[in-house]
Amino acid sequence: MFIENIDLVYFRNFIKKSYTFSKDINIFVGPNGKGKTNLLESLYLLSSTSSFRITTPGCFINNNSESNYSSIIAKLNNKSLTELRILFEENKKKYFVHNKPSSFKKFQSIKAIVFNPESLYSVKGSSESKRQIIDEILCSMSLNNNEIYINFKKILKQRNALFFDCKKEKITYEKAKLLKPSLDEIFINCAAQLTNLRLEILKNIHGFFQDTFSSIYHTKKAKVDFNYTISSIKANDWTEGEISLFLKHKIKEKEAAEWAYGSSLVGPHKHEISFLMNGEDARYYSSQGQQKTLILSLKISQMMYYYEVNKSYPILLLDDVHSELDYTVRQYLMRFLNNLKTQIFLTTTDIQFLEGFGKKGKIFTIK
């Protein structure tokens, strides 16, 4: 499946535009502020109910015109699903398949992986942003994984509410203490499942991650890896049973602190994930270009692993991927992208970046 064509009507800064794409590489080139990222965003919205950037109600509707709606119409090269439309009204979003109202579920055959300047925060940023990127990867793989993630979030919320309500004296300590064991049992179960899934994903994408990094960074010497730590202990090889036992022990140890603090102090929402380069934490030791290559390699590994599991490729959206990469790394990156079997959309302000794409690249000047 690939996206053949897109029509943008009053979408962001586009009044009416139509683009017919290559099934290989599509390059949006143009100066700052002309709509390259908007175009990627319109493609991303075919795969997700929310944008990859912060949005406000009505932000998708062109504000230089009188229009009170905007729409994205996509034609797909696909057997059963060929025309999709999203209609944005001020606070509403409506989905259509072959011109008939539909739910977003029908759109879910389009998968997109996005790399943008904010992706760098997954290496540089907080522990939460690292957990988030791994959870995004695991949720994108299957509905079952998504369910495990959602179940954990739900039970965490319930457990936190119990501690909070008790702290605020909305329920008595005696009553809360009676409710806690059954919640703990479900919590430990869901937490161990999610942690185990994270560890599995990290193991399964490691080979792709290393190969991609070596190809783009054109070195066999740099070893890249992940570290998963639970309460400061390296847990990369733990089994689900071991995770569960450890959690039980920690819950006992932290019981007084959790009541006092009013929320859950142990569990996957507190685990640490780090990216390693030659054994050192990339957050502190790797250069800006190395960090960028790391996270780009992670996104490409996600795509490859998705193919291994689902036998179809997600589309790849690369926003401003080349900045901070030196000339040689850019050349290796382009060579690498040229050999990928998925449909790629990328933006650049730098016309020089286009050298090396050869026949596979279709260029769109956005001005």
Ligand X SMILES: Nc1ncnc2c1ncn2[C@@H]1O[C@H](COP(=O)(O)OP(=O)(O)OP(=O)(O)O)[C@@H](O)[C@H]1O
Which is closer to ligand X, CB of 166 or CB of 318?
Answer: 318
Q: How many residues bind Mg ion (CB under 5 A)?
A: 1
User: Judged by CB under 6 A, which of 22, 26, 27, 37 binds ligand X?
Assistant: 37
Among ligand X, Mg ion, none, the one that 140 touches (CB under a kind-dependent 5 to 8 A) is: none
Output the smallest distance, CB 319 to Mg ion, in A.
6
| Residue 64 interacting with ligand X (CB under 6 A) | yes
Minimum distance between the CB of residue 13 and ligand X, rounded to whole angstroms?
Answer: 4
Query: In this chain, which residue has its C-beta nearest to Mg ion?
Result: 37
Helices 327-338 and 288-310 pack at an angle, to 10 degrees, of: 10
Q: Of all helices (H) and strands (E), which one includes residue 334?
A: helix 327-338
Question: Is 33 near ligand X (CB under 6 A)?
Answer: yes
The tokens of 21 are what?
Answer: 């794409």
Instruction: Report the site for ligand X in 259-298 (rule: CB under 6 A).
Output: none
Establish if 32 lies at the interface with ligand X (CB under 6 A).
Answer: yes
CB of 92 to ligand X, least distance (A): 16
Strands 16-20 and 2-9: antiparallel
CA-based max dimension of the chain? 72
Distance separating alpha carbons of residues 224 and 217, to the nearest angstrom: 11
**Positions 13 through 72 that interact with Mg ion (CB under 5 A):** 37
Q: Contact letters (x/-) for ligand X, 309-328, by CB under 6 A?
A: -----------x--------
Interacting partner of 34 out of ligand X, Mg ion, none (Cβ under 5 to 8 A depending on kind): ligand X
Of 37 and 47, the one with the shorter C-beta distance to Mg ion is 37
- The item of Mg ion, ligand X, none sharing an interface with residue 38, based on CB under 5 to 8 Å by kind, is ligand X
Q: Residue from 75, 349, 362, 363 that binds ligand X (CB under 6 A)?
A: 349
| Residue 67 interacting with ligand X (CB under 6 A) | no
Q: Which helix (DSSP H) or strand (DSSP E) does residue 227 occupy?
A: strand 224-230
Q: Contacts from 327-335 at CB under 8 Å and sequence distance 24+?
A: 328/218, 329/216, 329/217, 329/218, 329/289, 329/293, 330/356, 331/356, 332/215, 332/216, 332/217, 332/218, 333/216, 333/296, 335/215
Closest to ligand X by CB, 30 or 262: 30
Nearer to Mg ion, 37 or 342 (CB): 37
What is the smallest separation between the CB atom of 64 and Mg ion, expressed in angstroms? 18
Q: 187 phi and psi, to 5 degrees? A: -60, -45
| Binders of ligand X in range 219-258 (CB under 6 A) | none
**Residues whose CB is less than 8 angstroms from the CB of residue 185 and which lie 6 or more positions away in sequence, other chains included:** none
Distances (CA, A) of 73 to 29, 96, 222: 22, 9, 44
- Applying CB under 6 A, the span of 58-66, 150-158, 181-189, 200-208 interacting with ligand X comes to 58-66
DSSP assignment string, 84-147: EEEEEETTEEEEEETTEEE-GGGGGG--EEEE-GGGGHHHHS-HHHHHHHHHHHHHHH-HHHHH
Q: Using an 8 Å Cβ cutoff, are 337 and 304 in contact?
A: no
Binding site for ligand X (CB under 6 A): 12-13, 30, 32-38, 59, 61-64, 320, 347, 349
Binding site for Mg ion (CB under 5 A): 37
